[in-house]
């Protein structure tokens, strides 16, 4: 598994606490770039720009990326263009959300 694959897998452990689904399945992570020194830039968004848990989510993303031994510096590039929409979610996220609603 290369470093980019490891990063994508690690970010699946970061859960959006308001939705209860990981940020990868939600489609919040737009891109992961690794340079020749293995410094990482993660371009991502949030479900809403005014997310009250913004700092916590970004900190968790940084921590997960830094937990991979090969990774150098980590920069989280938080963007709101293009805006996130539910259409970015994968089928697994949709199923998780659907299952939660039927349990309530």
- Rounded Cα distance, 103 and 3, in Å: 37
Share of the chain above pLDDT 90, in %: 88
- Domain range for 52 is 3-103
Q: How many domains does the chain have?
A: 1
For residue 82, whether the previous peptide bond is cis, meaning omega lies within 30 degrees of 0, is yes
- Rounded Cα distance, 66 and 92, in Å: 26
Q: pLDDT tens across 21-42, in order?
A: 999 999 999 999 999 999 999 9
Q: CA angle at residue 26 from 61 to 58, to 5 degrees?
A: 20
CATH code (residue 86): 3.30.300.130
């Amino acid at each position: 598994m290369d470093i980019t694959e490891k990063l994508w897998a690690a970010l699946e452990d970061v859960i959006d606490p308001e939705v209860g689904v990981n940020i990868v399945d939600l489609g919040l992570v737009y891109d992961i770039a690794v340079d020749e020194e293995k410094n990482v830039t993660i371009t991502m968004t949030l479900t809403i720009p005014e997310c009250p848990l913004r700092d916590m989510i970004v900190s968790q993303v940084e921590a997960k990326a830094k937990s991979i031994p090969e990774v150098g510096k980590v920069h989280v590039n938080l963007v709101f263009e293009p805006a996130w929409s539910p259409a970015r979610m994968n089928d697994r996220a949709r199923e998780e959300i659907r299952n939660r609603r039927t349990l309530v």
